[in-house]
Amino acid sequence: MIICTALLLCACDKEVVTKQTSSDAPNILFILSDDHRYDFMGFTGKVPFLETPHMDRMAADGLHLENAFVTTSLCSPSRASILTGKYTHRHQVVDNQSLVPEGTKFFPAYLQEAGYQTGYVGKWHMGNHKDDPRPGFDYWASFRGQGNYWNSDFNVNGERDKPVDSTYVTHAITDYSLDFLEGRDTSKPFFLYVSHKAVHSEFMPAREHVGMYDDEPLSYPPTMYPPDHPRASSAAENYNYDDLPQWVKAQRESWHGVDYMYHGQLEFDEFYRRYCETLVSLDESIGTLLAYLEDNQLLENTLVVYMGDNGFSFGEHGLIDKRQAYEESMRVPMLAMGGVVDTEKDVLSDQVQNIDVAPTFLDLAGIAKPDDMDGTSFLPQLQGQEVEWRDTIYYEYFWERPFPQTPTVHAIRTEQYKYIRYHGIWDLNELYDMKNDPYEMNNLIRDPAYSEVARDLRIALFDWIVESEGNRMYLRPDGNHARYDHGYRGTF
């Protein structure tokens, strides 16, 4: 049975009344990475040579939220969902160029009103690529757009600042984060949002980590090549390639495909190794911030959450990048530790999403969730409580002119099945049994034995779309996207 968890939403936002918190209220440290897929951490064993001791420690001493997902696997939409607690079609940041609608209120503003001292450090990347301080933050250190791995200019509280000696961006973000922590008002609880550029492509590790994995052997996913391909593994014999959508097959030789990735500018093995090396500095940054909390006796009264803004494919179905609704794209790493986290168990299996982050942090601060938020607090689970939780999550991605290879996608995922629907193209939809086919090798959409399952999931998906006001069509004007056209000149 499919349980539709969409809520009938109020057309206008309810004013949230916040009370002043005491100085001993729990602190919150939220660390967000970019393009980090859910299983590329040392303790998962997915990549035998990958070393992430600080992520491993968070999982061992805290909680690994093993079924964490985003509602849209793309930087700006996902980041807006985190800050607003809303689905992409509700906050309207539908791609990496869309502006945040006027009047949008981010959850740190509620914390600020309640007496928290708030800080934001790192990548913002929502609309018009400016780095001006945003409402809701007492401390601000950010850069324009994607920034650069080396020698980024930062806007620090409205003033331009360039870290010395061509500083590596992960190190700079860590240093600014420490500046906030060391200069904070200790009479107030704090909320710090640390937003990394790493490990966004094109991957650039810190100098001290370049080449550290050059001699390590790589393993490829069983769906990287069709069964009849000369490089296909023995596991590909069970790959139902015939029922893979045509748009996926065609993308193999495109910007986001393994056979012509970034128009042939990179080789897959180097791409894979540089990604892992770039992760090392990110993990070290986590370790530095945890050490600060410990050295200053803050960890016991602080919730630390680490999360990725979206996943990343490394060869699955012949793809790289994100955007699609396959598991490695929409599933993200998520770890929690600190004094408020129950340590009786190591793993939380509930399906949580990026829209749940804002309600959870507000809940910890004793602030009621605003009516316009779609997410739900998972604080009770962090504290070891058994609660009734959703068994169904939803996903959406809207076609982008700069990356036309990937169509508009809607998906629904239960604990057993995933149904993926493509809009605007004549192609196969997809149905997978996630418990028995975790690599999504066998599309069941044309199997008569699963026709009822597919029908029920499709009905539930459209129920959610209608009830959550997702049946609007967001269209952006066709403009000069010369920066993004990847060789398609003269199209406006």
Residue 54 pLDDT > 50: yes
82 to each of 18, 167, 457, how far by Cα in Å? Answer: 20, 28, 26
CA-nearest of 435, 352, 384, 372 to 106 is 372
Asked whether 467 and 7 are in contact (CB, 8 A), the reply is yes
The full set of domains in the chain, from first to last, is 27-219+266-390 (3.40.720.10)
Residue 483 pLDDT > 60: no
CA-nearest of 406, 399, 396, 419 to 471 is 396
Q: Are β-strands 408-414 and 392-397 bridged in parallel, bridged antiparallel, or unpaired?
A: antiparallel
What's the pLDDT at 99? 87
Can you read off the two tokens belonging to residue 428?
Answer: 């196969």
Comparing 357 with 487, the larger pLDDT belongs to 357
Residue 485 pLDDT > 60: no
What's the pLDDT at 107? 98
Residue 283 pLDDT > 50: yes
What's the pLDDT at 163? 81
What's the rounded mean pLDDT across residues 377-402?
96
* Residues listed for the chain: 492
Q: Are β-strands 154-156 and 139-143 bridged in parallel, bridged antiparallel, or unpaired?
A: antiparallel
The pTM score is: 0.93
What's the rounded mean pLDDT across residues 116-138?
91
Taking only the tens place, the pLDDT of each residue in 222-239 is: 999 999 999 999 999 999
Taking only the tens place, the pLDDT of each residue in 59-87 is: 999 999 999 999 999 999 999 999 999 99
Range of lowest pLDDT (216-230, 237-251, 260-274, 330-344): 260-274
Residue 53 pLDDT > 60: yes
Query: Dihedral, CA atoms, 196, 201, 204, 210, nearest 10 degrees?
Result: 110
Can you read off the two tokens belonging to residue 211?
Answer: 């080449």
Residue 4 pLDDT > 50: no
Task: Compute the half-sphere exposure of residue 387: CA atoms within 13 Å on the CB side of its CA.
Answer: 16
288 to each of 53, 55, 156, 281, how far by Cα in Å? Answer: 12, 12, 21, 10
Taking only the tens place, the pLDDT of each residue in 419-449 is: 999 999 999 999 999 999 999 999 999 999 9
What's the rounded mean pLDDT across residues 176-198?
98
pLDDT confidence tier of residue 129, bands split at 50, 70 and 90: confident
What's the pLDDT at 20? 66
Residue 1 pLDDT > 90: no
